Chain A
Amino acid sequence: MLLRHTPQEITERSALTINPAKTCQPIGAMYAALGIHGCLPHSHGSQGCCAYHRSTLTRHYKEPISAATSSFTEGSSVFGGQANLLQAIETIFTVYDPEIIAIHTTCLSETIGDDLPQIIKKARDEGKAPAGKEVIGAPTPSYVGSHVTGFSNMVKAMANMALPTERKNGKVNIIPGWVEPSDMEEIKRLAATVGVDITLFPDTSGVLNGPLNGEYTMFPKGGVTIAELKNCSAAIGTLALGEWCSADAARLLDTRHKVPCRVLDMPFGLKATDRFIDALRTVGGTTVPEEISYERGQLVDLISDMHQYFYHKRVALAGDPDQLIALTEFLVSIDMCPVHLVTGTPGKRFEKRIRDITRDMPFPVNVRAKGDMFLLHQWIKNDPVDLIIGNSYCKYIARDEDTPLVRFGFPILDRQGHQYFPTVGYKGGLRLLEKILSALLDRTDRDAPEEKFELVF
């Protein structure tokens, strides 16, 4: 047993987190910043954070993740990191020449109280940031929220780049939330198919799923451009996908530039995708083409074809709130039973949303925001499940409890595909169901006695 010290009996813990279902803010900010074209993320803290965040993102995407750091020493930790950041800005523009530096902070610089806007202004005044180049900043204290909060804070800083404008440009802003590059691609395809002209930010497609062709550029073609960000105030509306990831940025555009916004769930599964497409159609003033309805019908077809294998299967889930909410709704809609859910990210609304979605379920449901995977494992021990859905760390629980696992969320460190194949939209729904079915039926095949071993399902 890999997790042999996890007891079945649950004791409440007040101070100790074990096997977290979250990580800290700056990595989310780094990921979001990579979705800006020509952007070098910068970590204002000691360099260990930056090394860890780059490594984790690299292990997940199997792609280079460039980011710089202020490399605090003990001196700067006591007297402030302004000199480090000014030097970093100069070095970065001279050596790496990005279009924009997107700075986030760590628990170190936040505890010290470094004033990012002031330092950025000083860098401009002193000419360390050349004309025509941008520097933005987002405070991302690691002791507040989670990586999701950090993502949201950087997306908000991106929205903060929007310039005042009188003119509408007929476009719709879509803030996709923390989804894979493949998901961002799929959202763009869906919008194009529905005939809505969008600005997607952040957009890591083309940045974190690039080709191998003998060339390397630190700043690939993908990413939302600075011009697009400056102009997202001219949009006719914003669709924010995911309350935790995207709502703050959308509300900023609403209050500051009167761009009306709607906060939707992330489009995982049938119903959330329905609502997304419907909202897109309404705000964009278009009609949904037959092509999309056809894709939807394919997903319903698969659900009906395979319903017997989904029906009342018990599922445990760990992950981030926006993803889990949409996924839980999807599972319930195909008559699966999400029975244990944890997210490490705080927010009471998570528990309430899950309770609402699972209200009519024939099983009791355990749900916890600010929970951890140790607790999830204990719940599973007390009340076993047929399937676990979560990131790679869940494989330890899956092996110990001999339970099938579908990898979903962040980080996935031990499998491929997530950066290339979407899980949002109807197409993504098909892929999710294919993965769930494979996991369940592989298990059926493995466990079946010879006389019950079936060729056809």
Chain B
Amino acid sequence: MATAKKKIVQWEPTDIKAELLQRYPAKVARKRAKQIMINEAHGSAPPPEIVANVRTIPGIITMRGCTYAGCKGVIMGPTSDIVNLVHGPIGCSFYAWLTRRNQTSAGGDNHENFIPYALSTDMQDSDIIFGGEKKLAAAIQEAYDLFHPKAIAVFATCPVGLIGDDIHTVAKRMKDKLGDCNVFAFSCEGYKGVSQSAGHHIANNQVFTHVVGKSDRLKTDKYKINLLGEYNIGGDGFEIDRILKKCGITNIATFSGNSTYDQFASANQADLSCVMCHRSINYVADMLEVKYGIPWIKVNFIGAAATAKSLRKIAQYFGDPELTAQVEAVIAEEMPEVEAARLDVLPRTEGKKAMLFVGGSRAHHYQELFKEMGMKVLSAGYEFAHRDDYEGRQVLPNLKVDADSRNIEEIEVEPDPHLYKPRKSAEEMQALVAGGYEFKDYDGLNADMDQGTIIIDDLNQYEAEKLVELLKPDLFCAGIKEKFSIQKLGIPMKQLHSYDSGGPYAGFKGAVNFYREIDRLVNSRVWGLMKAPWQEHPELSATYVWE
């Protein structure tokens, strides 16, 4: 494609958008135009809309995965004492086997840890033809006989829905038969919805229906919270738990990093839900509020300043001076080391430019860390977030569910006749809100990005390369599929899904890790090694005469 080479400074955001679109067939260009927006200052005018959570264009080389990945891989995968059984041909189970870095310390009753096991019914052609229900029931029995887990979760894959295997009935029958093992199933066939997102929703519904509230162990600690949407990648959850514990806050249930069955089952006993990843877990947050009366707030433990802010927000909710004092003491104790690391890297990171294209929340959260390092985010976007993750939850009433997502079940919950209990009186809640406290609120990615930055939903391979070519960032953040094509271009690439085996990046210690990691990446000497001397100076200026 012949385009006049312009200098970086001459590119206007509108030019860049036009450049990204011009190679596409007309229909594709029209569609992509709605998923690429130029961010505007947020003032009186209504912010620009973005189209998100719509079907992927076939052949475009998307980064997206499927519903099964969102359900089994993301939400249910990290729980150590539930046996996950994948009903399908072998691939789906194999690819989700230990490939997400949700670390676990196996804190269940008997220190069960089923995470290193990949279980599958390994469907064969005869199962496709005659149905796989019998094999599934037998597999559940065999898994039970081998492991005696307290729960077995069954996950559907693409062909299961097509051939009509009724996994829920099989699960119910086996639950009744086994007696002391909760068996439940997830209809998370890969073709449902348009991305991983549908799988989150399905996982939320089923874990809420089949597990939450089922524990009769009473949690009597003070300042009980749930940490929702934190998956302990690279130990993020460990670091957050360390800080919470130090503050005297009790995390009853993490959904779902380093979690156990009992954590899910006790989540109804918390007094506040703190949502990290809004996209994946907002459904559970809402249901916990409706059914049990637990209010939820958005928090962010990515970034030292964001961590401090989130801790203060939690303390403010409980309104106990003792807790507030402890939180302030912890922040005061932790921050000097963070600040020293920040000031150390700052001269080498300040002014550098980054791009972030990550699943459904990190493209937003990590901007805090880049801000702390004086770096500028030129462009960002999500694989599978919805409009509320971009534009804030105020757009929720206007969202229309399109044909591709219509069949994702919405479950209705009602206040529990026995367990519902308002955590604060209406007056107390009103007083908090009047003081600027925001419940059940998320402003989204766009609000935190500068005017003129480019926000792109469901970025594809072509656009990624084009953006890098046009804007020449100092750092590109995305996933494993993008990593090496970007690095071939000589641009440092940081994986913000797997952290490139690093981490934790959450909390105070995580911030220090991240500053050092980004400093290493953007200042690595390797990027200066790409050309050999004869490539840099190919002209022959003199010949040697060997003495």
Is B176 an interface position by the 8 A CB rule? no
Taking CB atoms and an 8 Å cut-off, the chain B residues in 24-66 that contact chain A are: 24-25, 28, 55-66
Q: Report whether B121 and A17 are in contact in the complex, using a CB–CB cutoff of 8 Å.
A: yes
Is B480 an interface position by the 8 A CB rule? yes
Residues of B within 8 A of A112 (CB): 162
Q: Report whether A111 and B158 are in contact in the complex, using a CB–CB cutoff of 8 Å.
A: yes
Q: Report whether B66 and A20 are in contact in the complex, using a CB–CB cutoff of 8 Å.
A: no
Taking CB atoms and an 8 Å cut-off, the chain A residues in 346-401 that contact chain B are: 374, 393, 396
Stretch at the interface among A82-90, A177-185, A275-283, A436-444: A82-90
Q: Report whether A96 and B462 are in contact in the complex, using a CB–CB cutoff of 8 Å.
A: yes
Q: Which residue of A has the minimal Cβ distance to B161?
A: A77
Nearest CB of A to B408, in Å: 9
Q: Report whether A47 and B59 are in contact in the complex, using a CB–CB cutoff of 8 Å.
A: no
Is A120 an interface position by the 8 A CB rule? no
Residues of B within 8 A of A87 (CB): 57-59
Q: Which residue of A has the minimal Cβ distance to B468?
A: A216
Is A56 an interface position by the 8 A CB rule? yes
Residues of B within 8 A of A343 (CB): none
Q: Report whether A71 and B62 are in contact in the complex, using a CB–CB cutoff of 8 Å.
A: yes
Is B97 an interface position by the 8 A CB rule? yes
Tell me the bound Cα distance from A313 to B113 in angstroms: 32
Tell me the bound Cα distance from A47 to B139 in angstroms: 27
Q: Report whether B485 and A48 are in contact in the complex, using a CB–CB cutoff of 8 Å.
A: no
Q: In the complex, which range does the number of interface residues on chain A fall in? A: 35 or more
Q: Report whether B117 and A19 are in contact in the complex, using a CB–CB cutoff of 8 Å.
A: yes
Q: Report whether B119 and A18 are in contact in the complex, using a CB–CB cutoff of 8 Å.
A: yes
Q: Which residue of B has the minimal Cβ distance to A95?
A: B462
Known: A107-B159, A214-B489. A144 touches B125 (CB 8 A): yes
Is B6 an interface position by the 8 A CB rule? no
Q: Report whether A213 and B530 are in contact in the complex, using a CB–CB cutoff of 8 Å.
A: yes
Tell me the bound Cα distance from A65 to B61 in angstroms: 11
Tell me the bound Cα distance from A73 to B118 in angstroms: 27
Taking CB atoms and an 8 Å cut-off, the chain A residues in 86-137 that contact chain B are: 87-92, 94-96, 106-108, 111-112
Taking CB atoms and an 8 Å cut-off, the chain A residues in 303-357 that contact chain B are: 344
Q: In the complex, which range does the number of interface residues on chain B fall in? A: 35 or more
Tell me the bound Cα distance from A47 to B490 in angstroms: 28
Q: Mark B108-138, 1 if CB is under 8 A from A, else 0.
A: 0001111011111111110110000001101
Q: Report whether A47 and B117 are in contact in the complex, using a CB–CB cutoff of 8 Å.
A: no
Nearest CB of B to A107, in Å: 5
Most buried by A among B94, B145, B407, B487: B94
Is A296 an interface position by the 8 A CB rule? no
Known: A111-B159, A142-B89. A74 touches B462 (CB 8 A): no
Q: Report whether B91 and A91 are in contact in the complex, using a CB–CB cutoff of 8 Å.
A: no
Is B194 an interface position by the 8 A CB rule? yes
Q: Report whether B89 and A49 are in contact in the complex, using a CB–CB cutoff of 8 Å.
A: no
Partner of B488, one of A42, A58, A215: A215
Stretch at the interface among A3-11, A232-240, A287-295: A3-11
Most buried by B among A77, A92, A396: A77
Known: A107-B89, A214-B530, A393-B97. A16 touches B143 (CB 8 A): yes
Known: A87-B57, A106-B158. A52 touches B488 (CB 8 A): no
Q: Which residue of A has the minimal Cβ distance to B121?
A: A15
Q: Report whether A23 and B95 are in contact in the complex, using a CB–CB cutoff of 8 Å.
A: yes
Residues of B within 8 A of A65 (CB): 481
Residues of B within 8 A of A106 (CB): 158
Residues of A within 8 A of B484 (CB): 58, 62-64
Is B67 an interface position by the 8 A CB rule? yes
Is B414 an interface position by the 8 A CB rule? no
Q: Mark A24-37, 1 if CB is under 8 A from B, else 0.
A: 11110000000000
Q: Report whether A91 and B158 are in contact in the complex, using a CB–CB cutoff of 8 Å.
A: no
Q: Which residue of A has the minimal Cβ distance to B147?
A: A5
Residues of B within 8 A of A63 (CB): 484
Q: Mark A64-82, 1 if CB is under 8 A from B, else 0.
A: 1111111111111100000
Q: Report whether A396 and B116 are in contact in the complex, using a CB–CB cutoff of 8 Å.
A: yes
Q: Report whether B404 and A74 are in contact in the complex, using a CB–CB cutoff of 8 Å.
A: yes
Residues of A within 8 A of B214 (CB): none
Residues of A within 8 A of B330 (CB): none
Tell me the bound Cα distance from A143 to B157 in angstroms: 12
Known: A20-B93, A24-B94, A77-B162. A14 touches B60 (CB 8 A): no
Q: Report whether B58 and A88 are in contact in the complex, using a CB–CB cutoff of 8 Å.
A: yes
Is A456 an interface position by the 8 A CB rule? no
Q: Which residue of B has the minimal Cβ distance to A109?
A: B158
Q: Report whether B163 and A55 are in contact in the complex, using a CB–CB cutoff of 8 Å.
A: no
Residues of A within 8 A of B489 (CB): 214-216
Q: Report whether B25 and A17 are in contact in the complex, using a CB–CB cutoff of 8 Å.
A: no
Q: Report whether A108 and B90 are in contact in the complex, using a CB–CB cutoff of 8 Å.
A: no
Known: A27-B91, A73-B55, A143-B159. A52 touches B62 (CB 8 A): no
Is B192 an interface position by the 8 A CB rule? yes
Tell me the bound Cα distance from A15 to B206 in angstroms: 25
**Which 9 pairs from chain A and chain B are nearest by CB?**
A48-B66, A24-B91, A88-B59, A15-B138, A91-B59, A88-B58, A52-B95, A216-B488, A142-B89
- 11 sample A-B contacts, Cβ–Cβ < 8 Å, listed by A number: A15-B139, A16-B120, A16-B138, A17-B93, A24-B92, A48-B67, A63-B484, A76-B191, A94-B23, A95-B60, A214-B489
Contacts A24-B92, A71-B57, A91-B28 aside, 6 further interface pairs with beta carbons under 8 A come to A16-B146, A17-B90, A22-B94, A48-B190, A73-B191, A393-B97
